[in-house]
């Protein structure tokens, strides 16, 4: 993500610490810990924070800052997220709701065409109209105030280093850049994700490219100083200008929408699908909670029919 733009709806997390590559450490003088994320760079960032004595929330913040850089197609500070936190000492489960909220100026027919038919998915998403108020930064700051150990600014250092020194474009990111029908038509995205070949043709950065993002590094430095800059300061103003000046169907997002945003701490939904497993999820909200319980119900029915 560059400071000048927000990619609509591209950065939504179901949880901040999810699976692919993981590290596990066990030392006699320390408690064991594990970090598992969607990208090795993010896992390394989490490991670095945990080794310094950071909390799980500290590690999750470092993870999200790195994923915004190395996995922008799926994650980002410009999107929304939920966080499910277990406090072992208090034996308390908490959920933090940092999902996006719709601008006050949105209308019920925003995603239908002149004939009253729903717009195709890509057409609906790639527009200024689809951009909501980003909730990740505010939610992470709330969780950090409750459970952080290391200073807020320290948690963005791994992402800052990668943004300034560069990271290797993964095969997955390269494939999704090449696939996207929208990125070449968004000036800021085109300038960042594409280059010109020897024939002067615009081509996506291939896997293995060392990619730097100084604009994102500048954004992180501002967030380090004060996360409110995302909602009341320079970054907020640039988000509003980008949405209202979107090349495809400008949105209505305003500074008042950003100033009004508040993350929410909710009671989790819990269930006991088996005698040995307790399942927990976020309280009801858009795209939250209930799918997990539907999965357990389906599994229980399937097992009973075997």
pLDDT in tens, 153-210: 999 999 999 999 999 999 999 999 999 988 888 888 999 999 988 888 899 999 999 9
Rg of the chain over Cα atoms, rounded to whole angstroms, equals 20
Domain boundaries, the chain: 12-266, 269-306
Q: Which residue would you say has higher pLDDT here, 212 or 284? A: 212
Q: pLDDT tens, 49-108? A: 999 999 999 999 999 999 999 999 888 999 999 999 988 888 888 999 999 999 999 999
Write down the residue that tokens 């009341």 correspond to. Answer: 232
pLDDT reading at 273 higher than 80: no
Q: pLDDT tens, 241-265? A: 999 999 889 999 999 999 999 999 9
**pTM for this model (two decimals):** 0.81
Whether the Cβ atoms of residue 234 and residue 21 lie closer than 8 Å to each other: no
Going by C-alpha positions, the residue among 6, 11, 9 that lies closest to residue 38 is: 11
């Amino acid at each position: 993500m560059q400071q000048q733009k927000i990619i609509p709806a591209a950065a939504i997390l179901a949880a901040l610490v999810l699976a692919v590559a993981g590290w596990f450490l066990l030392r006699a003088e320390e408690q064991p810990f594990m970090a598992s994320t969607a990208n090795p760079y993010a896992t390394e960032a989490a490991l670095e924070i945990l080794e310094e004595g950071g909390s799980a929330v500290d590690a999750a913040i470092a993870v999200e800052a790195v994923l915004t850089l190395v996995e922008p197609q799926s994650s980002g500070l410009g999107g929304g997220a939920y966080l499910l936190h277990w406090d072992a000492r208090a034996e308390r489960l908490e959920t933090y709701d940092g999902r996006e909220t719709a601008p006050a100026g949105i209308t019920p027919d925003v995603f239908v065409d002149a004939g009253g038919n729903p717009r195709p998915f890509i057409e609906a998403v790639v527009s200024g109209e689809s951009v909501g108020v980003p909730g990740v930064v505010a939610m992470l700051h709330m969780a950090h105030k409750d459970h952080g150990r290391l200073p807020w600014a320290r948690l963005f250092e791994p992402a800052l280093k990668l943004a300034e020194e560069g990271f290797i474009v993964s095969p997955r990111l390269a494939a999704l850049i090449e696939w996207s029908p929208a990125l070449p038509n968004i000036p800021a995205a085109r300038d960042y994700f594409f280059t010109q070949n020897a024939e002067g043709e615009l081509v996506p950065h291939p896997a293995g490219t060392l990619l730097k993002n100084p604009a994102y590094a500048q954004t992180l430095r501002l967030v380090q100083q004060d996360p409110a800059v995302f909602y009341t300061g320079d970054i907020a103003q640039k988000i509003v200008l980008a949405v209202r000046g979107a090349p495809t169907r400008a949105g209505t997002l305003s500074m008042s929408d950003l100033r009004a945003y508040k993350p929410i701490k909710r009671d989790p939904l819990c269930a006991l699908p088996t005698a040995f497993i307790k399942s927990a999820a976020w309280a009801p909200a858009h795209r939250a909670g209930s799918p997990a319980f539907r999965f357990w119900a389906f599994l229980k029915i399937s097992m009973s029919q075997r």
